[in-house]
Amino acid sequence: MSSKRFMELKNLTKEELDTKLRELEKELFQAKMKRASGQLENWSSIWRMRKDLARMKMLDMQKTDATKL
């Protein structure tokens, strides 16, 4: 994920970030199913999705903590 993309995610609202998180989780699940059935050509895409998901979850936690203050 480029730093430009990360900054775009950082500027999203909590609701928008939650929506994108769910979409990425769904994409990751579908990619894992394709890998299991031998249909996935680019295995590194799963690695990238996992890293992006972790970054998005980190941002989500930061936004959640910020709203508690």
Q: What is the pLDDT of residues 9-64, one digit of tens each?
A: 888 888 999 999 999 999 999 999 999 999 988 889 999 999 999 999 999 998 88
Task: Write the CA distances from 33 to 17, 22, 48, 49, integer angstroms.
Answer: 24, 17, 16, 14
The whole-number pLDDT of residue 35 equals 94
The whole-number pLDDT of residue 30 equals 95
The whole-number pLDDT of residue 38 equals 92
pLDDT above 80 (res 1):
no
The closest alpha carbon to 25, from 1, 57, 67, belongs to 57
Tell me the pLDDT band of 68, cut-offs 50, 70 and 90.
low
Residue 43: give its domain's CATH number: 1.10.287
Number of domains in the chain: 1
Structural domain that includes position 29 = 3-68
